[in-house]
Structure 1
């Protein structure tokens, strides 16, 4: 399992270079520090982009720690640059001309700009020793290993908890009621997380007597990282026993000759094709991926009616690209089935019971595996050679099961485009029971600058953020839930573990005890109200970009500490919607970089200083109380539901006018 890699930073460097360049032109003059910062950002951006391609080094590689340290240093410098540019932009809007800001009233930040440029140049120079050269251990290292392979033979003695899914798939495969006018064989897709048992289910189905009796010809292909039409066609031919060895073995055979042969072999035969572990080629557009698979499956038009394709994949998008008529989603195993599986592996299939003192330990281990059959099997193998209570108790450690789960899921994260990795990992700050609204999450991403500048003239930043969300949803990173005729989204337990792993340096949840020191790399924090007062002595609060405050199960707090709030000078996102805080202090006006503010449903007072915050996205304000000293003059009770993007001044004026 790799160490948590830093979030991608090259896209931030590029965006900051554009901003610094624009501000530099506005502040034209001698010795302009913005010009030096722009040049330094432009120099380091291609270096960061190149090194990001090598982030996934083999565990234990001596270069890994140095590369991560370099990225953390660069990321901190980029965060500092962003803070200063935000401050310059704010002062430009409300104060004197920018040149005066930089050279007079803003001399201190001007010096910071010069120091930042020097830091970036040093990082650029230091990167030379990290660039992989010829013969490097990482040369040729991609996101996925080309060595993965699966076969149709079922390796398990018993399969637990999947009988219903197998029967459902078999019923679809043997059903003749599919449309006869389809140009290719109907597709059935099995979708689920890594390690959840998709291949095992497909093997059970493939070897079922009903399937063997139904189909004249069967083929099993492990697709994995193959995305070439000719290679895939050759694999199918080899699987069904192509008699022409020269055609199958000759890598120079044309796609046409391969497909002509396949078309002849399956002609008028009822054919089952299993495509195991299919991924979307992220280097191609959806249209290109659809076209590729259309070509691969075209020869199946000659097969007899009743021919089918069974696909296993981690990504819902694959089912869409292949036009699957039926999708079976594999969920986590029930605890009882995990327990049976663990015992089966631990006992080697022998019919014996565990001693009573070990039964309780098994229950705790099963709870930790979160329904992952892969984790249950792995821990079962660990305990198979011993009946030592002490050693079994050591396996109750959640870190052991989490590491196994992460190892099975990490490829899903690594396969994501870099701009989606951070958006997903950020969700780790939410509690495991959190049900979020997609529009709110996109607004948070926007407030934090996670959305890349739109490339399409007709697509705004929010539309692009919604596309980011849909991309993660189609890749099975979010689950869906319906309540009160509304759709909400969540991270299931397995995805939450994955997000926590890859955001470990950036995000933290504090809900049991505040660590003595919060790591200085943390920028996004969720915390319960009873621990808020302890933050000041535990952390440099000016670093935080996100603060999510949750209701405390043991202590009710209706006020945000006045002096504490003023310390969050670089906060972009403040979410109080799940807290019991009903009143905000006037010091909220000092959060000049705040772009997203979510209120609690019991909030009853909005400070008059809120009008100074602009621009501001305000959400969930059911009731607001204004006192007589409010700029509007009289007290008013106002109900506002989910306002869209508001400038703080416009919000106050609109409420006053009611």
Structure 2
């Protein structure tokens, strides 16, 4: 099952901001004005193409579209570098800032070529073999689920099913709410939320307790009248000839159908409408569920969704997070699928392969079932061994998760995908990650009265509420993480832009990579494998075999376009004077053993520094505070 080519992350949101920077620097310069105009000309084209749903794997249009988006991304990166360089020259001193023309003599030709390049990319969009644009929608309208349980056996969900049924039919005190209390099941794609809801819906205790049941698959239907009509159809309480009525008439009929009855409603596969505000989404559901006020006490609603935000919008009284299956349950499901439910013994010569596959599917029932169907009725050890391939498992998992990513707004897609450069066990610090996003220009310029940091925190919280990050508490502190499935997803959609190099993997780094994490023992090998001037992020991690306390001086000077340098998880305690040549550096985090910074660092005008522990005693802000280069001298007394 080959994976579709990875698409570059969106850059259309950067174009207007870059055009604004070019205009502010121009002061009548034709080259900068021309670049600004070219950026604005291509913006609507880029925005439209980025909003298209992903091309089908193997389709002729996929490579062409991805190549076009990659070419645009490279041009935008070059424009950003050039504008940063001009801005630095303008700020360098009175001699240059008083006459921007002097600063522009050298880059003038680059500006003209870059504008021509952007126009050429724009013209190239007309030759893309694409059909009609699909706007913002990323989901197929053909998705339908029903209440009938198609599975012969459901593995590993007995306890959670009993828990949900207990919540729905329990004799506990009724919560005072304007509509029936909501129980929400939240989980990633392919985790079996629908199957679990079917188990609950068909449980004998549910059938006995409720007078009336209804099931609707919400999927891409978020219109009040359509949803109300769907519920009416599911209850069987109105004939088909009445379904063209207004929303008011439909709601009146639904209220009559459920009146004084203990009603159970399943809303399967609910998504947040990203085109509406949270308040607007709440308003939609308040209208849809309002007729249930006439239902009897004890009525309940069960919701399945990929997004914690949906549970919040629906005011869920109880939320169950559906995690992956245990390896043992995946193996049972694999056997069941391979044998088609027959009672024959599982071939012992294939058991070892089966255990390996069960361990690689990351707890995904969908991936397990798909692989089982691919292996059905075959005893070929060659085919079973092939299915142990991690890439095959990952591709199947990605197919069930990619809609979650494609549903995200573009600015959140990039922020999430960037997280793939961190190790799988990384505990994210919300403040540090937001500072990185800001340093890289991922956070769009805020409206008046808002700080970039506040907008960056909102980005993070939006990803958290959409279940892309998990959270946990330890030692009275909250930390955040990507689970295994989200790591796979982030890697899939950042493959052109981000790379994580493990200690034992010799690699050649593709020229499109802009964000990189390496261990200290791999640093010296970078120069021969990559044009280092392309990098925007370098995350250096401690090596288990070869600790290093210093950064090679000549190597550091090569990272001329670096924005983010994070050494906080390495052994590097000494920085060379060549760091002063990293004129675009915005973010520096260094290890707690560092006791002195080179004086050249004070020349870096954009830089903010995060000392992990260094400022605890000699800086009034305490540990973990950011400092600009302007106050570093105060901290160090240099």
TM-score > 0.5, shorter chain as reference: yes
1:10 aligned partner: 12
SS in 1 for 2:57: coil
Q: CA deviation at 1:343?
A: 1.1
Among 315, 320, 333, the alignment partner of 1:341 is 333
Q: 1:603/1:354 Cα in 2 relative to 1: closer, same or farther (>3 Å)?
A: farther
Q: CA deviation at 1:98?
A: 5.2
CA contact (8 A) 2:619 2:635 kept: no
1:440 aligned partner: 432
| In structure 2, distance between residues paired with 1:77 and 1:280 | 33
2:372 aligned partner: 380
1:629 aligned partner: none
CA contact (8 A) 1:102 1:109 kept: no
| In structure 2, distance between residues paired with 1:640 and 1:567 | 33
1:203 aligned partner: 198
| In structure 2, distance between residues paired with 1:619 and 1:99 | 30
Residue correspondences, number: 636
Q: CA deviation at 1:356?
A: 3.8
1:82 aligned partner: 80
Question: Given the two structures, how large is their TM-score scaled by the length of structure 2?
Answer: 0.96
| CA displacement 1:158-207 (0-9 Å, x = unmatched) | 11111111111111100243435321000000000000010011000000
| In structure 2, distance between residues paired with 1:514 and 1:449 | 31
SS in 1 for 2:269: strand
Is 1:576 the counterpart of 2:578 in the alignment?
no
Q: How does 1:19-168 map to 2 (within 5 A)?
A: 19-25=21-27, 28-29=28-29, 32-54=30-52, 56-96=54-94, 103-104=101-102, 106-130=104-128, 132=130, 136=131, 142-168=137-163
SS in 2 for 1:482: strand
2:350 aligned partner: 358
| In structure 2, distance between residues paired with 1:22 and 1:566 | 29
1:420 aligned partner: 412
Q: How does 1:419-498 map to 2 (within 5 A)?
A: 419-455=411-447, 457-498=448-489
SS in 1 for 2:184: strand
Q: 1:422/1:236 Cα in 2 relative to 1: closer, same or farther (>3 Å)?
A: same
| In structure 2, distance between residues paired with 1:382 and 1:424 | 32
SS in 1 for 2:634: helix
Is 1:392 the counterpart of 2:394 in the alignment?
no
Q: CA deviation at 1:340?
A: 1.0
| In structure 2, distance between residues paired with 1:256 and 1:101 | 67
Q: CA deviation at 1:643?
A: 5.1
SS in 2 for 1:257: helix
| In structure 1, distance between residues paired with 2:346 and 2:240 | 53
| CA displacement 1:308-336 (0-9 Å, x = unmatched) | 00000000000000000000000111111
| In structure 2, distance between residues paired with 1:390 and 1:273 | 47
| In structure 2, distance between residues paired with 1:8 and 1:560 | 33
Q: 1:38/1:444 Cα in 2 relative to 1: closer, same or farther (>3 Å)?
A: same
| In structure 1, distance between residues paired with 2:409 and 2:49 | 15
Q: CA deviation at 1:596?
A: 0.8
| CA displacement 1:524-565 (0-9 Å, x = unmatched) | 000111111000000000000000111112221111111111
Q: How does 1:212-611 map to 2 (within 5 A)?
A: 212-248=207-243, 250=244, 253-455=245-447, 457-513=448-504, 515-611=506-602
Unaligned 5+ segments in structure 2 are none
| CA displacement 1:390-421 (0-9 Å, x = unmatched) | 11111110011101100000000000011100
Root-mean-square deviation (CA), in Å? 2.0
| In structure 2, distance between residues paired with 1:60 and 1:97 | 56
| In structure 1, distance between residues paired with 2:268 and 2:287 | 18
Question: Given the two structures, how large is their TM-score scaled by the length of structure 1?
Answer: 0.93
Unaligned 5+ segments in structure 1 are 626-635
| In structure 1, distance between residues paired with 2:142 and 2:132 | 16
